[in-house]
Amino acid sequence: MRITQLGEDRLIRRWTRALRNDRSVLRGVGDDCAVLSGAKGVPLLFASDMLVEGVHFRASADPAAVGWKALAVNVSDIAAMGGLPRYAVVSLGFPPSARVARTDGLYRGLKRCADRFGVNLVGGDTGRASCWVIGVAILGEVEPRRLVCRTGARPGDWLLVTGRLGGAVESGRHLTFTPRLREARVIGARIRPRAMMDLSDGLWTDLPRLCRASGVGAVVETGRIPRQAGCSLRQAVAEGEDFELLMAIPPEQAKPLLRWAAWHLRCGLTTIGRIVRGRLIRYVDAAGKELRFKEGFKHF
């Protein structure tokens, strides 16, 4: 059997079902970050994400933008748990023919992102590879009362997203996006979302992950989905690489938050649907008609 026949989520479940972790692992595989019981009651967040040339960026891409993205996708994972990024290590692979100037550019992008979000670049390794590979692992901290996992969504919660969705790859925004760290922190200072994740693979692929983790279903009103200019509904739902935040928030907290966000959250905050009982995820238009999409981003 080829891995394409299983897909990412089933592969990961297959590999990780027999893992034996000790009690210091508050949350292991299955969220944006692992949660480890740090000392002083401050949980540690631990995650990694790897970019590969030809898959996550083109060979012709600006290396500084690639470096930025390599760290930014990891910062986004920390933001999605309500935490603050602190340290990162970087594993770099290049073909021997790589130009020093391009590798300098990559590191410049990494540093710019690190400085912007308060990340200490503390180590890693480098070596030969047949194409460019940039693996980043990130370590963050989160106050226990601010920690948000994918597991807490309850029927009746509203579904909210930051920013606008769609066209991230075509526009090049997937290389230059701003992870929603500030937004997650200022929202987390006002309320505690019941569940949160970042939209890396698109709503069509990611919402089922949040719902499965919480044991709930959802109804999305397609007319409400905030789209990037010129993007079709399909693009907004299925393309991925937006790195916006998806949150489940009880209505009594969502309402004042939306009023506040209208004035104070520049990227915007939009209600796109609600959490329901069951396991079904339905996309309905304004007339209540159910819509289906082609598949979202597939890693394999």
Q: Can residue 295 be called a binding residue for its own copies (CB under 8 A)?
A: no
Q: Would you say 240 and 296 are in contact if contact means Cβ atoms under 8 Å apart?
A: yes
Subset of 90-109 contacting its own copies (CB under 8 A):
90-91, 93-94, 96-101, 103-104, 107
Q: Can residue 293 be called a binding residue for its own copies (CB under 8 A)?
A: no
Give min distance, CB of 110 to its own copies, in A: 8
Subset of 10-49 contacting its own copies (CB under 8 A):
11-12, 14-16, 18-22, 24-25, 28-31, 33-34, 36, 38-40, 42, 44, 46-49
Subset of 114-153 contacting its own copies (CB under 8 A):
115, 120-131, 133, 135, 137, 139
Instruction: Determine how many CB atoms are found less than 10 A away from the CB of residue 61.
Output: 17
- Tokens in use for 296? 């979202």
Report the residue number, 68 or 158, with the smaller CB distance to its own copies: 68
- Alpha carbon distance 176, 47 (integer Å): 20
Report the residue number, 34 or 160, with the smaller CB distance to its own copies: 34
Among 13, 55, 223, 285, binds its own copies (CB under 8 A): 55
Give min distance, CB of 50 to its own copies, in A: 4
Q: Can residue 60 be called a binding residue for its own copies (CB under 8 A)?
A: no
Helix or strand holding residue 299 (H, E): none
- Tokens in use for 17? 């079902």
Among 111, 112, 182, 234, binds its own copies (CB under 8 A): 111
In angstroms, the first-to-last Cα distance of the chain is 13
Q: Can residue 300 be called a binding residue for its own copies (CB under 8 A)?
A: yes
Please, what is the angle between helix 181-190 and helix 63-79, to 10°?
A: 20
- Alpha carbon distance 3, 7 (integer Å): 6
Report the residue number, 168 or 218, with the smaller CB distance to its own copies: 168
Let me know the angle formed at the C-alpha of 80 by 194 and 74, rounded to the nearest 5 degrees. 165
Q: Can residue 299 be called a binding residue for its own copies (CB under 8 A)?
A: yes
Among candidate residues 65, 35, 33, 71, the one with its CA nearest the CA of residue 50: 71
Total number of residues shown for the chain: 300
Give min distance, CB of 115 to its own copies, in A: 7
- Tokens in use for 68? 């930025």
Give min distance, CB of 24 to its own copies, in A: 7
Among 13, 80, 87, 196, binds its own copies (CB under 8 A): 87
Determine whether 91 is exposed, middle or buried from the number of CB atoms within 10 Å of its CB (0-12, 13-18, 19+).
middle
